[in-house]
Amino acid sequence: MGYWDYKNVGASANSESIEHIEKIFEYIGYASEPDSSPDGDECSFDEPDVYGCEYSADARASGKIKKCFGSFDEKDLLYLLNALFPKTTIYVHKSEGNNTSDTWENHDIVYDTDDMTCYCEDSYTDYGGGGPNDSESSKESFVLKPPKMEHVKALLDLSMQDGNNPLAALLQELIKKIERGFVAEATNKNTAPSKKKNDLFVIKKGLLKKYKGNEEHVEIPDGVTAIGMEAFSGCYNIESITIPESVTSIGIRAFHDCGHLEKIAIPKGVTEIGAGAFSRCLSLQNINIPEGVSVLEFQTFGSTKLKSITIPSNITSMGEKLFSSCYELQTVIIQDGVEEIGDQAFYYCENLTEISIPASVHSLGLWVFVGCKNLKKAVIPKALEELAKKRDIFTSCKQLTDIQYV
């Protein structure tokens, strides 16, 4: 991040935002304590609100940080912090020199978003004083830009790993803004031109291969017959999707990681839903399964917010990790007709309290209900008793006291 010693975050700095900023500095590998800044006394500005010293190398050992923040500079920091805390002013102090000759060159830079001007002042210091070098000082305007998505997502990952939910929430909202077409507060020159609706989709011979928009509410064009692999994957901004009745197939990971998707209806003509199609749709609370679908593949609904689900009689096979990490799933109804339940199908569905397996089931995978720590009652066909015990389907179900083999 260059050779600066520390930054002062101005206009919008308050106790809460300062805490967030100090954490951001920590995550990108910079010290936020003044004692860690080797040349703090030489800063020509008053006490900074937040320090950030590049010499805090320990945190930078992370491969993620090196990859995402290795070329991070003061403008990247300005774009990021201004997006989170509008009208941020950053003061940068850089020093070059050595203690042997007692000489230092100081470069003080101020990025002021009040007038969109960067002030640069150079001075020479030999511990006995020294004034600005007017010939090397400058003043120029700059334009605020949106922060890089890779920086924001990396910080989101780090904040979630750290359990820092308030900062994670801010970063999630920022991701939504960027996907909409973020405009920095101090200027409106960065507005991206809007695209026509049909330009947002890559469609070839009825196959929707990719969605290129950032809308919250998406209507897939009539005539599309198949939604391709990862067509909407990572479209975090989408809240609802309307699928036309012409669609018969939904591809692998088609809507994977659509983190804000809350509403979607699968048309009755759909006969195939690919593996991981709705995995990590973290806001999805309801889903319908059409009558034409016979197989639910690997992790189709993993890491969703589903609270209840009915597996209809047309489904013959429930894939591995089908509902893995659906922490809010409370009610599951498996109708007669299902024949196979795959490995770890209900992996860590922690709020599931009761389950009944129909007589049609003849195959059980390993650890089907592993980690369902609140499961209290299970009803299983007598014919599956030996298999259920052999496959250890109730591993880590610590509250399960009522198992009925009927």
Model pLDDT, residue 111: 73
Model pLDDT, residue 292: 96
- How long, in residues, is the chain? 406
Beta strand 90-98 pairing with 249-250 = unpaired
Mean pLDDT along residues 66-72? 55
Mean pLDDT along residues 350-374? 96
Model pLDDT, residue 163: 86
Beta strand 263-264 pairing with 295-296 = unpaired
Amino acid at 302: G
Model pLDDT, residue 46: 39
For residue 393, tell me if it sits in a domain: no
For residue 308, tell me if it sits in a domain: no
pTM strictly above 0.85: no
Amino acid at 154: A
For residue 351, the cross-strand partners are: none
Q: What is the pLDDT of residues 214-224, one digit of tens each?
A: 788 999 999 99
Three-state SS at 159: helix
pLDDT greater at residue 307 or residue 50: 307
Model pLDDT, residue 124: 56
Q: What is the pLDDT of residues 14-38, one digit of tens each?
A: 667 778 877 887 777 665 444 443 3
Residue 91: both structure tokens together:
């003061």
Phi, psi (rounded to 5 degrees) for 331:
-125, 125
Number of domain units in the chain: 1
Closest alpha carbon to 282 in 259, 262, 301, 266: 259
Q: What is the pLDDT of residues 74-87, one digit of tens each?
A: 777 778 888 887 77
d(CA 298, CA 314): 17
Residue 1 has pLDDT above 50, yes or no: no
pLDDT greater at residue 6 or residue 24: 24
First to last CA, the chain: 66
d(CA 406, CA 403): 10
Closest alpha carbon to 72 in 51, 88, 47, 52: 52
Contact indicator for 118, 140 with CB cutoff of 8 Å = yes
Residue 125 has pLDDT above 50, yes or no: yes
d(CA 302, CA 281): 8
Mean pLDDT along residues 103-127? 65
Judged by average pLDDT, the poorest of 78-82, 104-108, 113-117 is 104-108
Model pLDDT, residue 393: 97
Q: How many CA atoms lie within 13 A of 82 on its CB side?
A: 27
How would DSSP label each residue in 76-139? Answer: HHHHHHHHHSSS--EEEEEEEEETTTTEEEEEEEEEETTTTEEEEEEEEE-SS---B-GGG-EE
The CA-atom distances, in angstroms, between 44 and each of 94, 106, 131, 243 are: 11, 9, 11, 60
Model pLDDT, residue 93: 63
Model pLDDT, residue 303: 92
Q: What is the pLDDT of residues 157-183, one digit of tens each?
A: 888 888 888 888 889 888 888 877 765
d(CA 384, CA 390): 10
For residue 242, tell me if it sits in a domain: no
Residue 66: both structure tokens together:
């090196």
Three-state SS at 273: strand
The CA-atom distances, in angstroms, between 189 and each of 143, 215, 236 are: 8, 20, 25
Model pLDDT, residue 19: 80
For residue 243, tell me if it sits in a domain: no
Three-state SS at 5: strand
For residue 377, tell me if it sits in a domain: no
d(CA 195, CA 189): 17
Residue 323: both structure tokens together:
């509902």
Contact indicator for 346, 369 with CB cutoff of 8 Å = yes
Q: What is the pLDDT of residues 318-348, one digit of tens each?
A: 999 999 999 999 999 999 999 999 999 999 9
Cross-sheet strand order for the sheet of 377-380: 354-356, 377-380, 402-405
For residue 225, tell me if it sits in a domain: no
Q: What is the pLDDT of residues 390-402, one digit of tens each?
A: 999 999 999 999 9
Q: Over pLDDT 70: what percentage of the chain?
A: 70
The domain containing residue 156 runs over which residues?
4-181
Model pLDDT, residue 237: 79
For residue 254, tell me if it sits in a domain: no
Chain mean position to CA 315: 32
Q: For tokens 């100081």, what's the residue?
A: 106
Residue 10: both structure tokens together:
């101005």
Indicate if the alpha-carbon torsion angle 198, 201, 202, 206 is positive or negative.
Answer: negative
d(CA 40, CA 53): 9
Amino acid at 393: I
For residue 297, tell me if it sits in a domain: no
Residue 19 class from Cβ within 10 Å (0-12 exposed, 13-18 middle, 19+ buried)? middle
Residue 73: both structure tokens together:
């500079």
Other C-beta atoms closer than 10 Å to the C-beta of 372 total 27
Beta strand 90-98 pairing with 103-112 = antiparallel
Residue 206 has pLDDT above 50, yes or no: yes
